[in-house]
Chain A
């Protein structure tokens, strides 16, 4: 591997100073002169026909500038990454409480909110469907005319029935998982402007500015090039801002009023209207031989995508791809349904369907190990995918596979080594301690059948610095810092001489999404190509300055050197000045297209993947047998991100992931009953606080370099929050002997399970 000066170092985040000083501007901090304030009227019913919308009284209110309805959407009245099934503004029907019916622009936020109360909407309530399994029945009310099953995936390989017959042990269970909320720091918000030529600029937290641009253009019936989207910084996203949030509303307001506009929604509105993680019901039957080899896995997964599809289709595909865990399984029968209901919309969320099925399969594995009297780590080693293996969908593991490396590092970790000693010392006699381990893999990139492209630009600035542009927004994950490190090593300059441009269709080329654990790999590879082109251009100029032939130039750190006459050197700075004097510029582009798996699954896109990140996580828990409370005392997280571009950044992702996965396992759920959200803010939606965090989280980075990645990097943004959840529930079993098949494993659920166990 290439020797690096910046890659692999704990470089301070480029946005650290501004964040710490409060100088960094989030979208909700932005204000523009003469700006109007927008507010969205949400539905009053989870499922109803709209008979009439009367905006007269609202329009008459002093200070109201505009009141818009479905009639004011000039283009397609719909949005949705995969299919535009969600109306921008509903005209005939509402399908969940978050549906938008009207949009107000007013001189103040208070007036806009008052005006919402004056809009008269006549509804005719319809029977609703809130349970996805019921939604699949013929007799159920239809959320969409096309039927309630949005997507169906079925993958069969080998013969599961035969395997179940010959197996030494078969375990069969049904699991259910919660509607986790992204709970990003900044609720959906943004500002927009329009100029005399009707060019619109929108600053709004997002994860793919170029796709937002096309979705806005589609709704406005406008040329996309007249719309500029800025997404950085996103104020946190975790997948929750992958879909359109407020961009179209902002565009409509500026289009209809000619004035700048701002919308900031409250946390409560965000909870009701915003995206969530798909709740899933997972039936799973797994068979193993006496030596612990997994022989077969059968799964039936029903996923609740709520009122609209968003990325529910790809999520169920991804869930099925990951439903056998990071293990070799020869006989599979895997079926998934993505179903519409009148619940809150579910879409992309860190892990993208892997979290739910990993919870199921990692519990199954522990149950098998338990029945066989086998070690929990041993059964994982026994079945772990290695390079060249055939994975569950029948595809070959062609890229780097670091699972064994993560398992070995986990085994050697302090926590695993002294686990018995730690388990023996609970803080009170009625508290019991247990240890749990789980593994996961996480597909990187968009997968087969979805061309995954990206681009980077590099410009030599007149002062000798370099401006690099990658559109994948900074959503807090630290990709911009990693890009700066990668660029500095490819360009051969100091990180202090890099100016980062990100998340802006006005200043960067389309690099795709900040999702799918893909931005480092995509941006890094595009930077590599851009740097090669940059070096060619620099060499030409350097040759001219040094009066040597073009092919005689070698690029060294911050300078170009004559190969034949090494005392002839010229610095990047001098080259920049020379170019400036000539009235020219040096700009380069790099365009990258992801490699894909050779396996094609007829009829499916997005699966399988070629590249995966791998991870093993361990949790030590203490369960209070009198209350059912579970405390995660310590955790170990062993990710394989490929090359860790910024190890401290990986640690940050890892620790954040552990806590997010812990919240998923123990407390977090957006509870919706009959279409109505009961947990409307953070007093009832229970996120872990700093006091709930494990006393210690050790991150051990197990790099399995990926030859196709920039300096060997893959991606790690998602995997870090996945196996920790079953590691925690497996630890609860180890502590008190109850299998938690429903998460979150709240104190009440654990306590109830303990009581039921006593009775039986």
Chain B
């Protein structure tokens, strides 16, 4: 399945591009995606799937999912 990935802030360092598409096996989870991207920060991280925050890294992804990976942030 195809996953659309978008990296923000400090997560940008894990890929050449901020926005790209990835081919993952059916049933792949958030953990699989983070492993694939070699993302080391597994605690201070927020993953949004189709605009919804995912709390469980075992959550399976579905084809065409828009996945935003970021560190928590703040601002005004």
Binding site for B on A (CB under 8 A): 75, 81-82, 84, 208, 210-211, 214-215, 217-218, 221-225, 239, 242, 311, 314-315, 318, 348, 351-354, 443, 446-447, 449-451, 453, 455, 509-510, 513, 515-517, 589, 591-593, 605-606, 718
Contacts and interface: CB of A to CB of B under 8 A. Distances in A.
Interface string B43-74: 11110100111010000000000001010111
A477 to B, nearest CB: 14
* B9, B45, B52, B74 interface centre (most CB from chain A within 10 Å): B74
Contacts of A81: 72-74
Nearest to B74: A81
A318 B76 contact: yes
Given A453-B52, A510-B55, A517-B76, 15 more contacts: A214-B72, A223-B43, A314-B73, A352-B76, A354-B76, A443-B76, A446-B74, A446-B75, A449-B8, A450-B75, A516-B76, A591-B53, A592-B51, A605-B9, A718-B76
Contacts of B68: 451
| In the A-B complex, the 5 residue pairs with the closest CB atoms | A352-B76, A591-B52, A446-B75, A593-B51, A211-B72
10 contacts: A75-B43, A218-B44, A315-B76, A318-B76, A446-B75, A446-B76, A450-B9, A510-B53, A510-B55, A516-B75
Given A451-B68, A605-B9, A348 B76 contact: yes
A304 B52 CA distance: 36
Contacts of B43: 75, 214, 217-218, 221-224
Contacts of B52: 453, 455, 589, 591
B74 A314 contact: yes
Contacts of A589: 52
Contacts of A446: 73-76
B74 A225 contact: no
Contacts of B72: 81, 208, 210-211, 214-215
A82 B44 CA distance: 11
Contacts of B70: 450-451
A717 to B, nearest CB: 10
Contacts, number: 94
B48 A348 contact: no
A218 B46 CA distance: 13
Q: Is the interface of B mostly helix, strand, loop or mixed?
A: loop
A447 B75 contact: yes
A453 B48 contact: yes
Given A214-B44, A592-B51, A311 B8 contact: no
**Chain A at the B interface: SS class:** loop
B76 A453 contact: no
Contacts of A221: 43
Contacts of A215: 44, 72
Nearest to A243: B74
Contact of A509 (B45, B53, B75, B76): B53
Contact of B55 (A218, A225, A351, A353): A225
Contacts of A222: 43
A512 to B, nearest CB: 9
B50 to A, nearest CB: 8
Contacts of A450: 8-9, 70, 73, 75
Pick the most buried of B44, B53, B55, B73: most chain A CB atoms within 10 A of its CB. Answer: B73
Given A450-B8, A592-B51, A605-B9, A353 B44 contact: no
A78 to B, nearest CB: 10
A353 B76 contact: yes
Given A218-B44, A509-B53, A314 B8 contact: no
B48 A593 contact: yes
Contacts of A353: 76
B73 A82 contact: yes
A515 B45 CA distance: 20
Contact of B74 (A75, A218, A348, A453): A348
Contact of A82 (B45, B48, B74, B76): B74
Contacts of B55: 225, 510
A116 to B, nearest CB: 30
Contacts of A314: 73-76
A303 B9 CA distance: 22
A211 B75 CA distance: 13
Contact of B75 (A318, A455, A591): A318
A304 to B, nearest CB: 17
A605 B70 CA distance: 12
Contacts of A318: 75-76
Nearest to A220: B43
Nearest to A350: B76
B39 to A, nearest CB: 14
Interface string B15-52: 00000000000000000000000000001111010011
A453 B53 contact: yes
Given A218-B43, A225-B55, A451 B48 contact: yes
Contacts of B51: 453, 591-593
B67 to A, nearest CB: 11
B8 A515 contact: no
